[in-house]
Amino acid sequence: MILVANDRLARLDLGEAPSRPVMFSWQAERLPGQMPEQAVEAALVLNGRCAKAVWVLCEDLWTQSLSLSAQSVRGLDDRQLRRVLAFELESLSGLGADQSQVAMLPLAAETEGARQTYWVIQAPNAELHQLQSVIRHAGGRLKGLLHPSGPPGSAAMPAGEGEGLERWLALQAQRLDESPGSMAIITPPRVEHTAGQRVGISLAMAAAALALCLSHGLWMNGRLADVSKELKDAERPRQQVAQLDQRLAQAREEVRRLTTGRENRASIDLAAALAAPKRRTAALLAALNASAHDSRVVTTLKTDPQGGQTVEGLCLTPESADDLAVALSRKLAGSGWEVRGAQKNVRIEMPEGGPWEFKILLVPAARPTEPKSVTTTSLPPTGRAPAGGKP
């Protein structure tokens, strides 16, 4: 039971029927300008839990006695009678019949001649829905909405706070158990979907599932295209090696033709000199293969006219390019290569930054050298900066 009076708030939690022992009691002043749903929410946050059934007695509800012609309401059921009363109350309460809920209690003792008097309470639908939402969020369900005053002859709500108010709330709970028909109760309406609404909901769910499947299919097609492109890019170094082998074979044939008839020693020295690029290239490819890592991919292997090689690729972090340069420097020590270091350029295509383009320059060494430290260089970033940041 939650009481929302004009100047105070109260909550009384009762146990199971029929004894209904008091489980929790709380009373406080109501803040100026506090809306009913705010007051109910303030009461529900106490005690750590909410009962399954919640009754709200709210003094903000519009209430009044209303007299109608007995002939005009004869034969009407409760729903039709509440509808008639709602239209009669529009000019008095200012609440539209379609925007409010009405509860009434016939006052037989005040029947005068051909007229019937009713005790009526009225609540806006918006306020009722807000109360339902607050109570549902707390884990309970709004059982009903009442006015604490009640019809003439009802037990008046005691003034002030204390045990008197607690006993009065317990009495209201007892009346709800024993004779709910003697009280005007606004029951939250159940939302019933029509057949058309159910069909519409089903169609909407089917359309959403279809859109999800289509979007997933489009994403998969795009991903397959990206993977296919990555595989093709990974094949480029092999194709370049094949081209180098073909050029080397052509060079050997040319050397063989030019050195025909010369001394054996000159032929051997020249062949060894021409075989050196192949050995260096083979050593480079072996080192690249041994240094492979998921955080980077080598996309291009370029040869310059002076016999140097440029290893180009993409990496997720700049440190990965540095690691590759250091690994190549160590693995190619004594194989005729000198690693000049990694140059990096961030593209900023992902939310967390990256990927990074890198270039590692290798030049033929004048003589075999021991591995040495590699200097890395980061170039200015390209692409667009992420939202709220700078490249």
- pLDDT band (50, 70, 90) for residue 384: very low
Mean predicted confidence (pLDDT) in 94-122? 79
Instruction: Give yes or no for a contact between 147 and 137, defined as CB atoms under 8 angstroms apart.
Output: no
Q: What is the pLDDT of residue 383?
A: 47
Residue 58: which CATH number? 3.30.420.380
Q: What is the pLDDT of residue 389?
A: 41
Query: Looking at the structure, do residues 243 and 331 belong to the same domain, yes or no?
Result: yes
d(CA 64, CA 121): 7
Mean predicted confidence (pLDDT) in 63-84? 84
Query: Looking at the structure, do residues 255 and 347 belong to the same domain, yes or no?
Result: yes
Q: What is the pLDDT of residue 369?
A: 47
- pLDDT band (50, 70, 90) for residue 270: low
Verdict on whether the full-model pTM lies above 0.85: no
Query: Looking at the structure, do residues 154 and 19 belong to the same domain, yes or no?
Result: yes
The domain boundary, picked from 150, 182, 214, lies at 182
Percent residues over pLDDT 70 in the chain = 86
The answer as to whether 249 is a domain residue is: yes
Residue 310: which CATH number? 3.30.1360.100
Q: What is the pLDDT of residue 367?
A: 55
131-168: pLDDT as tens digits: 999 988 888 889 899 898 877 667 788 877 788 888 88
Give the mean pLDDT of the chain: 82
Taking Cα atoms as reference points, which of 53, 152, 144, 60 lies closest to residue 103? Answer: 144
Give the bridge partners for 4, in sequence order. Answer: 9, 58
Query: Looking at the structure, do residues 238 and 171 belong to the same domain, yes or no?
Result: no
The answer as to whether 212 is a domain residue is: no
The answer as to whether 78 is a domain residue is: yes
DSSP 63-74: EEEEEEEHHHHT
Mean predicted confidence (pLDDT) in 249-257? 87
Query: Looking at the structure, do residues 174 and 34 belong to the same domain, yes or no?
Result: yes
184-224: pLDDT as tens digits: 888 887 655 556 767 888 888 888 988 888 888 888 888 88
Query: Looking at the structure, do residues 137 and 20 belong to the same domain, yes or no?
Result: yes
Q: Say how many domains are in the chain.
A: 2
Residue 60 DSSP class: T
Q: Which amino acid is at 222?
A: G
The answer as to whether 216 is a domain residue is: no
Which range has the top average pLDDT, 174-178, 263-267, 322-326?
A: 322-326
The domain boundary, picked from 182, 204, 226, lies at 182
Mean predicted confidence (pLDDT) in 255-270? 68
288-345: pLDDT as tens digits: 899 898 889 999 998 888 888 899 999 988 888 899 999 988 988 888 888 888 888 8
18-44: pLDDT as tens digits: 788 888 888 888 899 899 999 899 888
Torsion of CA 224, 225, 226, 227, to 10 degrees: 50
The domain boundary, picked from 139, 161, 182, lies at 182
- pLDDT band (50, 70, 90) for residue 391: very low
Q: Which helix or strand (DSSP H or E) is residue 129 part of? A: helix 125-137
Mean predicted confidence (pLDDT) in 347-372? 76
Q: What is the pLDDT of residue 71?
A: 78
Q: Helix, strand, or coil here: 137?
A: helix
Q: Among 139-153, 233-247, 327-341, 374-388, which stretch is predicted with the lowest mean pLDDT? A: 374-388
The gap from C-alpha 345 to its chain's centroid, in whole angstroms, comes to: 33
Which residue range is the domain that position 72 belongs to? 2-182
